[in-house]
Homo-oligomer: A and B are copies of this chain.
Amino acid sequence: MSDFDALMEFQRSTEALSSVAERLGWDQETVMPRGAVEQRAEEMAAMESVLHERRTDPRIGEWLDNAAGEAEDAEDARMLELIARDYDRQTRIPARLATELARTTSLAQGIWAEARAADDLAAFLPTLSEILMLKREEAAALADGGDAYDALLDDYEPGATAAGISRIFAELRPRLVQLRDDLLGADHPPPKLDGQFPAETQLRLARQCATAFGYDWTRGRLDLAVHPFSSGRWQDSRITTRVVTDDPFNCLYSTIHEVGHSNYELGIDSDYAFTPLGRGVSLGVHESQSRIAENQLGRSRAFTGWLFGRMSEAFDGLSITDTEAFYASVNRVTPGHIRTESDEVQYNLHIMLRFDLERDLIAGRLDVADLEEAWNARFLKDFGVAVDRPSNGVLQDVHWAVGLFGYFPTYALGNVYAGCLNRAMTEALPDLDASLAEGDATPAVEWLRENVHRHGSLIPPVELIERASGDAVTAAPLLDYLETKFSAIYGL
């Protein structure tokens, strides 16, 4: 067997094992008995240990050295590049640091949850300091003299830099702040959908929505979870949602969002399964797929027209009785502190705040002790609202507690990518609205599969979006879309 083949066979088993670990995570969040927590922790630790050993196996280095000349085409070359990249990152982190990070972040999750519940920031800050110290050490090891924050970012969005993201955010911010002010100052804000909506009916509608977006039920399933997520790839990518009885949009749009993620994984060329090409290429591109499904398609005038009919029927009438008002209500912009409850307009402002603060933390320009003050001042400036308590401010997200620094900006990048893709897609599919109005988003899903999904990790993120959209990646398409859509809804 050639070194190339030996390497690929080894990687294939590693991919299969990592898929098992992911499935275990799904099990834990959906169906696991609540008394199995310790057992599952031991099972996960055993899997992670096996995976870590494989990912740092010195044979990978030898195979890579010997296989360099054996790549026969662009796919082979890209696979070697991705394996080398991952091996390089894995082996740069000292074993001691990896263990310490795993232990600390695992404990920190519980400490953070308790601190948030008690609104007691002081209880969390020592842990955050410890994690930050470890992450800075990790970043230095990965950066090898380069920028520390970029080294962390690269794990989630390969090739992205803080400088590049800052340019995009600088383009986004003024127009978003302006739009936000205009909308919140509007005389006639959209109505809120009132009522109680039985869980069973919500879930039935959620299934209809998933089907409308072409979700392949033979390779997936829908379950309930506290925090909705999508999990798995190739032949088995499952989605989850949640039910809030007085807010059916939570269930339905969570479902559509997760279908966007799963459609990406399920749409990858099956020849790439369990190879380094067989996953979505970055978190930003992944988020673009969930966002375009949820927002540009799912919250469009056309699709909400169909949804209004389905919901009116399923719930035997609604508190909102005409299609235009329903469309506006789906797209309400309201003041609020919480990122995950935010609307299309304000969401990216939340991200920018976190991006700036976490860069300062990693660079050592901001001390953990000053974090709350910095957060609250910035929030007041961008959102015009004071933060009343830590759970509405710096304690609201789990990310930093589990060591995810450099992760937040991928959410906003996803929105920007979605804007670029949406402009090209709506040009390419003049009849898309007619389909959406009939509850059929599959022409869009097929366009995305052809232009994005099927490539898996073959093409780097920015190149992929630029090829698909036929233009450079900028914030302009997203901003144009938001201003046009929301001005019309709010009658500005």
Contacts and interface: CB of A to CB of B under 8 A. Distances in A.
A2 interface: no
Interface in A34-55: 34-40, 42-43, 45-47, 49-50
A149 interface: no
A31 B221 CA distance: 8
Contacts of A36: 219, 234-236
A238 interface: yes
Contacts of A19: 39, 43
Given A27-B23, A27-B27, A16 B42 contact: yes
A45 B274 CA distance: 13
Nearest to A47: B20
A125 B9 CA distance: 34
A37 B273 CA distance: 13
Interface size class of A (residues with CB under 8 A): 35 or more
Given A13-B46, A17-B46, A34 B218 contact: yes
B16 A45 contact: yes
A27 B223 CA distance: 14
A261 B234 CA distance: 35
A184 interface: no
Contacts of A185: none
Contact of A235 (B35, B219, B238): B35
Contacts of A217: 33
A216 interface: yes
Contacts of A432: none
A218 B33 contact: yes
Contact of A35 (B13, B49, B216, B273): B216
Contacts of A13: 46, 49
Contact of A32 (B24, B40, B49, B236): B236
A267 interface: no
Interface string A42-81: 1101110110000000000000000000000000000000
Interface in A125-160: none
Nearest to A32: B236
A236 B38 CA distance: 10
User: Chain B CB within 10 Å — which of A38, A42, A238, A274 has the most?
Assistant: A42
Contact of A24 (B20, B33, B34, B46): B20
Interface in A246-293: 273-274
Contacts of A273: 39
Contact of A236 (B40, B45, B234): B40
A20 B27 CA distance: 11
Nearest to A233: B39
Contacts of A38: 235
A6 to B, nearest CB: 15
Interface string A209-229: 000000011111100000000
B33 A236 contact: yes
Contacts of A17: 43, 46-47, 50
Contacts of A20: 20, 24, 43, 46-47
Contacts of A42: 12, 16, 274
Contacts of A23: 24, 27, 43
A401 to B, nearest CB: 25
A219 B46 contact: no
A24 B22 CA distance: 11
Nearest to A42: B16
B43 A16 contact: yes
B27 A235 contact: no
A136 to B, nearest CB: 31
Contacts of A45: 16
Nearest to A234: B39
Nearest to A45: B16
A277 to B, nearest CB: 16
A218 B35 contact: yes
Interface of A: 12-13, 16-17, 19-20, 23-24, 27, 31-40, 42-43, 45-47, 49-50, 216-221, 234-236, 238, 273-274
9 contacts: A16-B47, A17-B47, A20-B24, A20-B47, A23-B43, A31-B31, A36-B234, A40-B236, A42-B274
The 6 tightest CB contacts between A and B, nearest first, are A16-B46, A36-B236, A35-B218, A39-B235, A36-B235, A35-B219
Given A12-B42, A17-B50, A27-B27, 4 more contacts: A33-B218, A33-B236, A34-B218, A35-B219
